[in-house]
Amino acid sequence: MYNDRVQSTLQYIANKSAPGRGTVLVAAHASTVDLAFGKFHPRFLKAPRLTTPENLVNISLPIPYSSNVTFMRNSDDEQWQYIREALPPITYRNFSNRLNHDFIERSQTPQQQ
């Protein structure tokens, strides 16, 4: 399954590249950014939040090019912490890389998205 494969790969990269307090930068497409959020956000500790086929339709609108999600932890024993405004969004002419937090946090019902 796509969700499992991507989230397992992200976990593997984090474990191998940043044991403890290391730094990892993963440059990826919007669907992978969405899955990373669903994997590492503390709200989804018991079960990662999955990305549905419906979420993938026009996913570049809520998660535009060059948008980002940032997580940090101080040790392997700690949970990842979401740093919501780690990098300020960039806007130039008709482009903005501002992430739609309502979408990525799934704080709206599907009809509102």
At 28-48, the pLDDT tens digits run 999 999 999 999 999 988 888
| pLDDT, tens digit, 9 for 90 and up, residues 46-68 | 888 989 999 999 999 999 999 99
Q: Smallest Cα–Cα separation from 67: which of 103, 28, 11, 10? A: 28
CB 40 within 8 Å of CB 26? no
Q: Which of helix, strand or coil describes residue 77?
A: coil
**Amino acid 40: pLDDT:** 92
User: Given this model, what pLDDT does residue 76 score?
Assistant: 80
Q: How many residues does the chain have?
A: 113
pTM here is: 0.84
